[in-house]
Amino acid sequence: MATILIIDDEVMTVQMLTALLKIMGHEAVGANTAMQALQTLHSVQPDAILLDIMLPDVNGLQLCRTLRAHARTERTPIFMISATAPPLIAEAHAVGATGYLVKPLTLNDIRSALANVGVASVGR
């Protein structure tokens, strides 16, 4: 079982992703702002991070850059998530994102992304 940090300002998105990750046999921890995410990282060491680009307090791309500069998350796989596709993919990779997923996300999208970085599913 892996611990996945979900950072998204939409509560319903965090709930949906949490449910999908539980189906896969993982633990999910949610945060709705960049500040909440940074506070969460004091007590949680995630195996991967799902990070929305549009956050209310800090742009997700900037948060990704910050996470890459932090010793606890410099090597943690970070998948940017957004409803908009190609325009931001290159920028996401430039700030250190491992990958880019387009909403709405499916169980297979998440499973495939995590498997690509060695986080295997243990559930259905």
The per-residue pLDDT string of the chain (124 residues; one tens digit each, 9 = 90 and over) reads 999 999 999 999 999 999 999 999 999 999 999 999 999 999 999 999 999 999 999 999 999 999 999 999 999 999 999 887 667 788 899 999 999 999 888 999 999 999 999 997 776 5
DSSP letters, 9-50, are S-HHHHHHHHHHHHHTT-EEEEESSHHHHHHHTTT---SEEE
Do 2 and 48 touch, CB atoms closer than 8 A? yes
Distance from C-alpha of 94 to C-alpha of 41, rounded to nearest angstrom: 23
Q: Say what the pLDDT of residue 85 is.
A: 65
Q: Which residues pair with 7 in a beta bridge?
A: 31, 51
What pLDDT sits at residue 22?
A: 95
DSSP 102: E
pLDDT of 26: 96
User: Comparing C-alpha atoms, which of 44, 85, 38 is closest to residue 63?
Assistant: 38
**What would the two tokens of residue 8 be?**
């998204």
**Amino acid letter, 49:** I
Model pTM score: 0.94
Q: Which CATH architecture has domain 3-80+91-116?
A: 3-Layer(aba) Sandwich (3.40)
Strands 27-31 and 48-52: unpaired
